[in-house]
Amino acid sequence: MATPHKRFERAVGCRHLSASCGYIGARGYFRFAMPLVLLLCAFPFASAELGPIAARHGAGGAVIQMEPRLLSNEPYVAVKDLRELFNDENSPVRLRYFYRSSTRRLSVQLRMPSGQSRIVRLKMGSAEAAIGTRGSVSMRRPAVEIAGEPWTPIQFLTEAIPKAAPVLVEYDAGARELVVRAADSTPEAEPPMEPSDPTPIIESTLPETPPYALMELEAPVWTGLKVAVDAGHGGSDVGLERSGAVEKDLTLALAKEIKTAAALAGGAVFLTRADDAARALEERMQAAEEGGATAFISLHFNDSISSGRSGYRIVTLPPDRSSTEGENADRRASPPEDAEKLADAVEEALKEAGFEGKRLRLPLPALERANRPALYIEMAYLSNAEEAGYWLLSQTIESAAAAIWNGAARYKP
């Protein structure tokens, strides 16, 4: 699909290319090149003034203005406009995306009311939208990048998204109207490919909006990054139970969300447990070893007799202890500075998302035996009813997961 892609880019770029067009003229090609350039420039833009589309959820929903563009007679929408459309409170599904300009790859995550999510992948210049085990949708025209942002044909919205998630999207070109409705079920009855949230998360009982931001996901800076995310507890080992929150469920929901964030951002994360099962410390370490992890992050929640205590605690080994000591002395895998770098990066990202807390240095067995840069993070105090309440909201899990992933993505040994 390289040819149409190039043509789109050139045509789209012409809006900003008057200087280049003049340059061609100055070099003496004017007489031959200019009419051709003008023709290429004029063709899409003669019809590019498509005007706004009124998009809404259901018949009576609030109108969201979208500014589509017409390229080769196909209406295109900016993916960031789709995010706005699907993050409306009336939307039956939520959408977020990750786009990496260097690889021109776009991942779009659709999150259903059930908490399940599915990822649709596109490459700029290609008309194929891949929907995991559901195959793909072939669009008439390829996705394109305009000014560093991904744009898709409206067909992506009317055909690919409804194949991936339980929504119906109708586009009336004449009336310039786009209506999104909830479908009773996904078109094909089939279990979703993405991990489902097992969680105790009930959005209808929200105390209030959590004070945490959902950060844009970042691509990993180090190609060698492979993070083993360790959801603390599991099975009969429930961990803490406070304020309606159960530690083993929260750690698993967070771990899965970190994995999803990494998948969206083109990173590598695997879990030491992906279901509600008990795991001994040795099994967790073995999973990290077998998966070839270059970083290890264990997730937990904290408890205190002081109900006012709050915030995360990021734990690394004390400087005089490391995973090189004791029984593992012959299996040195990482200098302790790397764990500190990883902790710095994760803490920085958590702070950017609005989480507050402290760093601690403790000789915890999970850190001493990790054999790779390792963090043990107590995400919050479940003994603090307000903080625990926030953690019962899926927004908090998503915000924390995006921050932890972004922190890991910034780490390089």
How many residues interact with Zn ion (rule CB under 5 A)?
3
What is the closest distance, in whole angstroms, from the C-beta atom of residue 272 to Zn ion in the complex? 14
Q: How many CB atoms lie within 10 A of CB 31?
A: 8
Closer CB to Zn ion, 239 or 357, in the complex: 239
Only one of the segments 63-71, 84-92, 165-173, 235-243 lies at the binding site for Zn ion (rule: CB under 5 A); that segment is 235-243
Q: Residue 2: CB partners within 8 Å, gap ≥ 6?
A: 125
Residues 315/364, Cβ–Cβ less than 8 Å: yes
- Residue type at 286 in one-letter notation: Q
Report, in Å, the least distance between residue 248 CB and Zn ion: 8
Q: Smallest distance, Å, CB 322 to Zn ion?
A: 22
Question: Is the distance from CB of 375 to CB of 315 less than 8 angstroms?
Answer: yes
Q: Which is nearer to Zn ion, 78 or 246 (CB)?
A: 246
Report in angstroms how near the CB of residue 152 gets to Zn ion at its nearest.
43
Task: Please state the closest distance from residue 109 (CB atom) to Zn ion, in A.
Answer: 28
Q: Given the complex with Zn ion, which of 123 and 300 has the nearer CB atom?
A: 300
* Rounded alpha-carbon distances, angstroms, from residue 187 to 13, 14, 208: 38, 40, 34
Percent of residues in the chain assigned helix, strand, coil, to nearest 5: 35, 25, 40
For Zn ion, the closer of residues 256 and 300 by Cβ is: 300
- How far is Cα 266 from Cα 109, in angstroms, rounded to an integer? 13
Work out the number of other CB atoms within 10 angstroms of the CB of residue 146. 17
Beta-carbon contacts of residue 399 (< 8 Å; ≥ 6 apart): 210, 212, 213, 214, 215, 353, 354, 355
Give the whole-angstrom CA distance, residue 265 versus residue 259: 10
Dist. CA 382–CA 85, nearest whole Å: 34
Binding to Zn ion (CB under 5 A) within 191-210 occurs at none
Q: Min. distance of Cβ 396 from Zn ion in angstroms?
A: 17
Among the residue ranges 15-23, 217-225, 228-236, 312-320, the one whose residues contact Zn ion (CB under 5 A): 228-236
Q: Cβ 237 to Zn ion, closest distance in Å?
A: 9
Q: Which stretch binds Zn ion (CB under 5 A): 202-210, 230-238, 320-328, 379-387?
A: 230-238
Task: Decide: 98 and 265 in contact? Cβ < 8 Å.
Answer: yes
Q: Which stretch binds Zn ion (CB under 5 A): 22-30, 32-40, 236-244, 404-412?
A: 236-244
Using Cβ positions, the residue closest to Zn ion within the complex turns out to be 300
Round to whole Å and give the CA distance between 70 and 46. 9
The H-or-E segment that residue 20 falls in is helix 18-24
CB of 232 to Zn ion, least distance (A): 4
User: Please, what is the minimum distance in Å from the beta carbon of residue 233 to Zn ion?
Assistant: 6
Between residues 44 and 239, which has the closer beta carbon with respect to Zn ion? 239
* 237-245, 280-288, 333-341, 401-409 -> range binding Zn ion (CB under 5 A): 237-245
Q: 69 or 300: whose CB is closer to Zn ion?
A: 300
C-beta of residue 270 within 8 angstroms of C-beta of residue 259: yes
- Interface residue with Zn ion among 162, 195, 220, 232 (CB under 5 A) is 232
Q: Scan residues 285-344 and list those touching Zn ion (CB under 5 A).
A: 300
- Range in contact with Zn ion (rule: CB under 5 A) among 77-85, 151-159, 161-169, 225-233: 225-233
Q: How far, in whole angstroms, is CA 29 from its chain's centroid?
A: 47
Residue 239 lies near Zn ion (rule: CB under 5 A): yes
Residue range at the interface with Zn ion (CB under 5 A); choices 129-137, 211-219, 233-241, 403-411: 233-241
What is the chain's alpha carbon radius of gyration, rounded to the nearest angstrom? 25
Residue closer to Zn ion, measured from CB, 141 or 300: 300
Residue 400: its H or E element: helix 394-410
Q: How far apart are CB 169 and Zn ion at their closest, in Å?
A: 43
- 393 near 250, Cβ under 8 Å? no
Which residues bind to Zn ion, rule: CB under 5 A?
232, 239, 300
